[in-house]
Amino acid sequence: MAANTTFFPPADPNVRLRAMFYALTPQETYAEHFQDMPDVAYISRPFFFLWVLLDLLMLLAIGEKKDARLHHVFINFTVGHITEAGGRFVSKGLELTAYLWIYHHHRLSSQPFDSVSTYVLCLIGVDLCTYWWHRMTHENSVLWAAHQLHHSCEDLNPSVAARISLSMLAFKWVFYLPLAFLGLPPTVYVIHSQMNFYYGALGHSRVWPKMQKILPGLGHIIEFFFVTPSHHRVHHASNKYCIDKNYGSLLIIWDRMFGTFEEEREGEELVYGVIDQKEATHIIGLQLDPWWTLWDRFSAAKTPGDKLRTLMYGPGWSSGQPRLGNPEDIPDVRGRQKHPFEAPVWFSLYLLLHCSLVVAGITDMATRMRAVGRGLGLVHFLYVVLAGTSLGGLLSSHRGSLRFEPVRLLLSLPLCLLLPVFASRSLATCLALTNAASLLLWPLVRTQALKMADKKEGRKTE
């Protein structure tokens, strides 16, 4: 089997772009071994960044500046890349272990990796499993604690697709094990999982109207079978009629079949975020807060039965209610105002620069993990967690987190100079110089962060 460049030549943007739209031919996905497998998540990433930029520019063009807030965009990407770092640098595919074991020892049939029928079966199978995984994350409190981060953004644009919790790595893989029993080759499963993710990511958009407005006649057919931005807007909104609807990623027919479909109502403005929306800007706090909330609910339960139901039932459940809670208790969020982020331009640029450097470092390291080993990967992961804590403190005006930023800047210097954080020595040197200069600016940054914290606390006491 040839190397993966046979399938995805780096110079072929057409193939790389089509990978993002789930538009690869079966032949372009054939791979017998993991070393021959195209990394769809990596090759499509530049086009995904461009798609996010296009969506933001379209928001500005139609006068929706309030939904094109850049600080949330780089929060989303930083959160997502920290999760990717956990998957690539620490677990290194451990979530595939059970799939591989079942496939090699207990599969009920053997599907060829180079077959059109396998391609179709995997497309349908991955999407159906994704539907049930997604639905269960809304109907089980433990899974919701791992998924809530994705819904906690008050804006909706494609960058929200990257807003994935690190804790989800511990759960999601379970829902795809039936495909191993069916004998779907692991390489084919991984490729389709990545394409399924990217197609679902495209639906995170406020800009695109219903398909029938773009393609009269044909648009109705598309929206009957496939997930569109209109469908996914409903899923992300907290309006009463939108709660727990439209779980599909590629195909919307699962929602139609299983009773969770809801059409977007054009006369009602959608409000994004979760029902009990809080300020959601601390990069690490976003990962932990849902678990603290679940712990508080668990601790408050009076009986062992209620404690168990707190974990197993939906996040809206309370004692004496149905499994998913009482729909009448859902508040009306229409007209809810977004949490403001008020900072000087230079402060925002500081945050953007350093979040971008963290993301660039993770992306660079992800391409070299087979060569550098898990030890350096773990060191890099611990650094990005520290970066998320320090930069998250600046973004959220969290006084307790401010002390971490100078520590991060200091630690980054030996990491850049002594360890291959970047493949390119010139990039590592550039990062070291940037962080050294930022250390000199720290008194000014700290003063501004404290002013923002004072203002934030003043708003809370009003």
Q: Are 401 and 106 in contact (CB under 8 A)?
A: no
Higher pLDDT, 117 or 370: 117
What is the reported pLDDT for 54?
Answer: 95
Mean pLDDT across 449-454: 94
d(CA 139, CA 135): 6
d(CA 90, CA 349): 30
d(CA 235, CA 248): 9
pLDDT category of residue 35 using cuts at 50, 70 and 90: confident
pLDDT category of residue 377 using cuts at 50, 70 and 90: confident
Residue type, 417: L
Query: Which of 41, 317, 24 lies closest to 164 in space, CA to CA?
Result: 41
Supply the DSSP symbol for 96.
G
Residue 228 has pLDDT above 50, yes or no: yes
Q: Is 337 exposed, middle or buried (0-12, 13-18, 19+ CB in 10 A)?
A: exposed
Mean pLDDT across 20-25: 92
Higher pLDDT, 299 or 8: 299
d(CA 351, CA 357): 10
Q: Are 127 and 166 in contact (CB under 8 A)?
A: no
Q: Cα angle vertex 452, ends 449, 456, to 5°?
A: 135
pLDDT category of residue 9 using cuts at 50, 70 and 90: very low
Could you please report the per-residue DSSP string of 136-189?
Answer: HHHHSHHHHHHHHHHH--SS-SGGGGG---GGGGGTGGGGGHHHHHTT--HHHH
Range of weakest confidence among 172-176, 264-268, 403-407, 429-433:
429-433
The whole-model pTM stands at 0.92
Query: Which of 172, 187, 195, 175 lies closest to 123 in space, CA to CA?
Result: 195
Mean pLDDT across 153-172: 95
Higher pLDDT, 376 or 55: 55
What is the reported pLDDT for 37?
Answer: 82
Residue 462 has pLDDT above 60, yes or no: no
d(CA 264, CA 210): 9
Mean pLDDT across 222-248: 97
Mean pLDDT across 111-132: 97
Report how far apart, in Å, the C-alpha atoms of 21 and of each of 33, 246, 329, 401, 439 are. 24, 19, 39, 40, 43
Higher pLDDT, 153 or 367: 153
What is the reported pLDDT for 1?
Answer: 30
Mean pLDDT across 431-435: 91
Q: Are 39 and 5 in contact (CB under 8 A)?
A: no
pLDDT category of residue 419 using cuts at 50, 70 and 90: low
Q: In whole angstroms, how large is the CA radius of gyration of the chain?
A: 23
Report the share of the chain in percent with pLDDT over 70.
96
Residue 289 has pLDDT above 80, yes or no: yes
What is the reported pLDDT for 425?
Answer: 79
What is the reported pLDDT for 7?
Answer: 43
Range of weakest confidence among 7-11, 190-194, 360-364, 450-454:
7-11
pLDDT category of residue 363 using cuts at 50, 70 and 90: confident
Mean pLDDT across 180-193: 96
Q: Are 73 and 359 in contact (CB under 8 A)?
A: no
Mean pLDDT across 150-178: 96
Report the share of the chain in percent with pLDDT over 90.
73
d(CA 325, CA 312): 12
Residue 40 has pLDDT above 80, yes or no: yes
What is the reported pLDDT for 171?
Answer: 95
Mean pLDDT across 264-268: 92
What is the reported pLDDT for 459?
Answer: 60
pLDDT category of residue 23 using cuts at 50, 70 and 90: very high
- Give me the chain's average pLDDT, please: 91
Supply the DSSP symbol for 340.
P
Q: Are 286 and 133 in contact (CB under 8 A)?
A: no
Q: Are 355 and 391 in contact (CB under 8 A)?
A: yes
Mean pLDDT across 422-428: 77
Mean pLDDT across 251-256: 98
Mean pLDDT across 205-230: 94
What is the reported pLDDT for 379?
Answer: 87
d(CA 96, CA 52): 29
Residue 438 has pLDDT above 50, yes or no: yes
What is the reported pLDDT for 5?
Answer: 36
Number of Cβ atoms within 10 Å of the Cβ of 289: 17
Residue 356 has pLDDT above 70, yes or no: yes
Query: Which of 154, 8, 133, 139 lies closest to 69 in space, CA to CA?
Result: 154
Q: Cα angle vertex 337, ends 332, 338, to 5°?
A: 120
Query: Which of 92, 95, 99, 90 lies closest to 122 in space, CA to CA?
Result: 99
Number of Cβ atoms within 10 Å of the Cβ of 362: 25
pLDDT category of residue 10 using cuts at 50, 70 and 90: very low
Mean pLDDT across 3-16: 56
Mean pLDDT across 91-101: 87
